[in-house]
Amino acid sequence: MPFLRRVLLSLLMCLAARSAAAETTLNVAVVGLPRVQGHPYAVSNLPAIYVFTAIYDALTFVDNDGSLKPWLATSWTQTGDLTWEFTLRPNVMFSNGEPLDAEAVVASIDYLTSPAARSDTSAAELSSIVGARVLGPLTVEITTGSPNPILPREVSALRVIAPRHWAAVGPGGYARDPVGTGPFQVERWTAARVDLKAYRQSWRPPKLDRLTIRALPEMTARVQGLISGQIDVALALRVEDKDVIEAAGHRFQADPGTGVFVIALNAERDERLRDVRVREALNLAVDRERISQVMLGGLVHPASQFTPPNANGYDPMLKPYPYDPDRARAMLTEAGYPDGFSFVFEGVMGGAVSDSALFQQIASDLAKVGVTMEIRPIMLSQLSANMHSPSGWTGSAFGVDYGTAPSLDSLRALKQHSCLHIYKWFCDAEGFPVLEAALAAHTEDERVSLTKQVFRRYYDLYPAILLWDIVYFEGVRKEVGDVPAVGSWIVYDQIEKKQ
């Protein structure tokens, strides 16, 4: 009997070892991790999105082409000027066992409309919502403060929380122990990595067993990790990385983004930038087309306006600003700066359209018209913190995007880049009524028409140095299947990896 027991134990150990060996882990390298850890509402931009799309789900989802898809909500109907009724997907559970129901959606909205959420980015994005109530176990009514014809698009930003867990641990505890309905659940979260395991009971179960997201701020480290096999997917790469990745037998993937990259001009901090002639001169001084062709391989195109081509409200009549250094010098002289001036620019280095070499070339272009741009590198987490702080910036400009994800609505970006932002850097007070009218439009057609008016005005005001329509470049090892993405929103549950 002892012999048989030893044989059985040996067999069980072999089976366990084989099972462990068969587990598939996807190792993803990103620029950084969110400073708020897993807080679902505090931030909604990079780098948080890299992790949040693995954990959380929203009511709807907007694809790359702008089409609206059911997600946690399967259908919706406008029942009044200010009310919408959403029907939820049945039999969905949070990773801690709580059911996804109307009460969970109401709890999420109750927090977002409370004073506690005043500084949270998601609350600003969903500011049209004033309340919600349960109509049935899987039916919820959402009320807006004014008519909002694109609410079904906007609730693609409404990440739903597990209400009992939220009530028990509070926002801070939830950040450390996030719970969602997505394909993965967090096992461990440190400053440098997040380890997640498959949540098999998710309504969109993953094809992988584990997911590890690592913060590697240096782009060369992400590329080397991919080639060495320590990393399976390296995000936020450059065009220059294409040849070395493909030479090693792996894939270089380009995905259209959902935003426009700019050098934002902080007119609230630097009074020189309040003069539209100065802002126009800075734009005319940058040779975007040459940078696009020579440094970005023609894969990234100069932006024609402050919203991307796939966003609701894009105006095809607008064209990229011309390169005209002679006119730029004349305008600086007219504005009282015949010898130019100097300013400090703060930027995150190491992204597809925000690389150090690109900023150096822009600085070189500006120098030709007498403007000195001192480049000061910052971390991605610092960028997010500065944007939500009254005293975060030390310079006069910073690299950032006019982002439209997840709704792909152009006005989403202006909730930051306008008088609406709690800590403003550009405020067009004169044109603000048109923005307000666009946000309060009764129909989607009316909203789109007013949105185009807003962006035509921004085009003429030069609130930032307009650069490129964002494209995301990823390196993917040959063992990994398709990596579907909407901008920086990775659809993790659809990724497969061969043993």
pLDDT of residue 352: 67
Least confident of 89-103, 159-173, 252-266, 350-364: 350-364
Total domains in the chain come to 3
Same structural domain, 457 and 396: yes
| Gap between the Cα atoms of 285 and 321, Å rounded | 10
Closest CA to 286 of 400, 374, 365: 365
Same structural domain, 87 and 37: no
Mean pLDDT of 12-16: 44
**Percent with pLDDT over 90 in the chain:** 76
CA angle 269, 408, 431 (to 5 degrees): 45
Of the candidates 131, 162, 193, which is a domain's last residue? 162
pLDDT of residue 117: 94
Same structural domain, 98 and 217: no
Same structural domain, 152 and 200: no
174-233: pLDDT as tens digits: 999 999 999 999 999 999 999 999 999 999 999 999 999 999 988 899 999 999 999 999
Q: How much is the pTM?
A: 0.83
Same structural domain, 290 and 437: yes
Place of tokens 């400053």: 191
Mean pLDDT of 25-41: 93
Residue 384: band (very low, low, confident or very high) from pLDDT cuts 50, 70, 90: confident
Same structural domain, 485 and 403: no
Checking if the pLDDT of 102 tops 70, the result is yes
DSSP labels, 78-98:
E-SSSEEEEEEPTT-B-TTS-
| Gap between the Cα atoms of 167 and 185, Å rounded | 19
Give the domain extent around 131. Answer: 57-110+118-162
Mean pLDDT of 233-249: 93
Q: What are the two backbone dihedrals, phi and then psi, of residue 385, each rounded to the nearest 5 degrees? A: -65, -40
Same structural domain, 358 and 407: yes
